[in-house]
Amino acid sequence: MYHSFSSDTKKEKRIKHYSSNQKILLVGEGDFSFAACLANKFGSAKNLVATSLDSKKSVIAKYSNAAPSNLKELEDRGCVILHGVDVHIMKQHHLLVNQLFDRIVFNFPHAGFIHREDEKRQIKVHQHLVRGFFACACKMLQVNGEVHVTHKTSHPYNEWEIVKLAKESGLYLVEEASFSTRDYPGYMNKRGSGKKCNQTFHVGRCSTYKFAKLPLQEFSFTTLYDY
């Protein structure tokens, strides 16, 4: 059963950009190690919703070395775990339809290995994924909420034009912060698809892009001016 979210500033705990008092939605989780990292630091996951595109059966099959223990820890700490959640239509999920979040987080979005990463058609597939995510996430933010996307900044990933895609949905860049897996103990980034789905990948230069909603008037003006 879906639980209500709670906030107790006296017991607030923080890790990097995130607070135990924030209502946080995590999307595109692989082995759920990022969610487990936050839950472990906070000592509770009652303000967390962690989702994956894969079914629970598929998650456990892909990441049998870590996912079951991560899922168990999250369940024990009160996290809402949802599987089969498509970021394009996640707002329509019956447990998310009326929910607004302080932070919506998508780490290393990837649409799968269809073509070579540096091919324009592959980049367009990735952009379609991110564009759909932004459009939906923008409608699920609290007034002062933020959408966070952690993404590689080297070629060809810089050609995804993350900031431009966000702007199309009325989101503006608040900050670009350097990202390191060392800041999140226990987090293991995964390829997520293909024969090497359970393998990590070299992060290299990457950033966490923080976006917030544009004021309505500014968004209208920008949209008309740009398009």
All structural domains of the chain, each given as residue ranges with its CATH number in brackets, are: 18-226 (3.40.50.150)
Query: What's the predicted TM-score (pTM) here?
Result: 0.88
Cα torsion through 100, 129, 110, 15, rounded to 10:
-20
Tell me the C-alpha distance between 62 and 193, whole Å: 9
| Residue 84 pLDDT | 95
pLDDT of 145-201, one tens digit each? 999 999 999 999 999 999 999 999 999 999 999 999 999 999 987 665 666 656 666
| Spatial distance between the Cα atoms of 34 and 72, rounded to a whole number of angstroms | 14
Q: What is the CA radius of gyration of the chain?
A: 17
- Separation of alpha carbons 225 and 227, rounded Å: 6
Question: Is 211 within 8 Å of 146 (Cβ atoms)?
Answer: yes
| Diameter over CA atoms, the chain | 51
* Secondary structure of residue 28 in the 3-state scheme: coil
Asked if residue 35 lies in contact with residue 76, where contact means CB atoms within 8 angstroms, the answer is no
Share of the chain above pLDDT 90, in %: 75
Sign of CA dihedral 2, 137, 202, 126: positive
Q: Which residues contact 145 (CB under 8 A, 6 or more apart)?
A: 100, 101, 102, 103, 104, 212, 213
